[in-house]
Amino acid sequence: MEKLLDILKDIQPGIDYENCDNLVDGHLLDSLSIISLIADLEDEFDITIPTVEIVPENFNSAKRIYDMIVRLQEEC
């Protein structure tokens, strides 16, 4: 989770990622930030994020993002 929080803080500093649950719905992360985040997650965690996973529900909080990462790692 620490790696994920570091990535998020690099992309968009100043957000309380540990407590925020509306990163997409609250427009705290825009589409360019999400594209950058996906690329960083794929590199850092050695996963591929399929298009069907790129939905607001998976990116609205650090916990949801982390849950997706773990699930994708387990599917490999």
Residue-wise pLDDT for 21-39, tens only, equals 999 999 999 999 999 999 9
Helices (H) and strands (E) in the chain — how many of each? Answer: 4, 0
DSSP state of 20: -
Can you give the pLDDT at residue 68? 98
Q: Is 71 helix (H, G, I), strand (E, B) or coil?
A: helix
Mean pLDDT of the region 6-33: 96
Question: Hey, CA dihedral for 29, 59, 55, 21, is it positive or negative?
Answer: negative
What does CATH list as the number for 2-75? 1.10.1200.10
Please give the pLDDT value at position 76.
78
Residue-wise pLDDT for 46-76, tens only, equals 999 999 999 999 999 999 999 999 999 999 7
Domain spans in the chain, listed from the N-terminal domain onward: 2-75
Alpha carbons 5 and 57: distance in angstroms, whole number = 18
What six digits make up the tokens of 31? 């589409």
pTM: 0.94
